[in-house]
């Protein structure tokens, strides 16, 4: 391999590593955003918690197991 070929090869290696790092970065940021949004969507609101508590109370008062 001539010095010129070596330099071009090395540039290509760096270009590919950079490209992979960028794509991996986008994927990781995307996952962080997805998990963050999912947490909000799936996290129960105060109304949901109140409704669940009311359902549990009703089940206990009627003597039925809470399901």
Structural contact between residues 51 and 62, judged by C-beta atoms closer than 8 angstroms: no
Quote the CA–CA distance of 17 and 41 in Å, as a whole number: 36
**Beta carbon nearer to other proteins, 37 or 53:** 37
**Beta carbon nearer to other proteins, 9 or 49:** 9
CB of 4 to other proteins, least distance (A): 13
| Residues near other proteins, by CB under 8 A | 1, 6, 9, 12-13, 16-17, 19-20, 23, 34-35, 37-38, 41-42
1 Cβ neighbours under 8 A, 6+ residues apart: 9
């Amino acid at each position: 391999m001539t010095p010129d070929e070596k330099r071009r090869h090395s540039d290509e290696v760096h270009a590919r590593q950079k490209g992979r790092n960028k794509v991996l970065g986008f994927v990781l940021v995307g996952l962080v955003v997805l998990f963050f949004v999912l947490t909000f969507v799936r996290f129960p609101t105060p109304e949901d918690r109140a409704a669940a508590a009311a359902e549990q109370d009703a089940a206990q008062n009627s003597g039925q197991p809470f399901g």
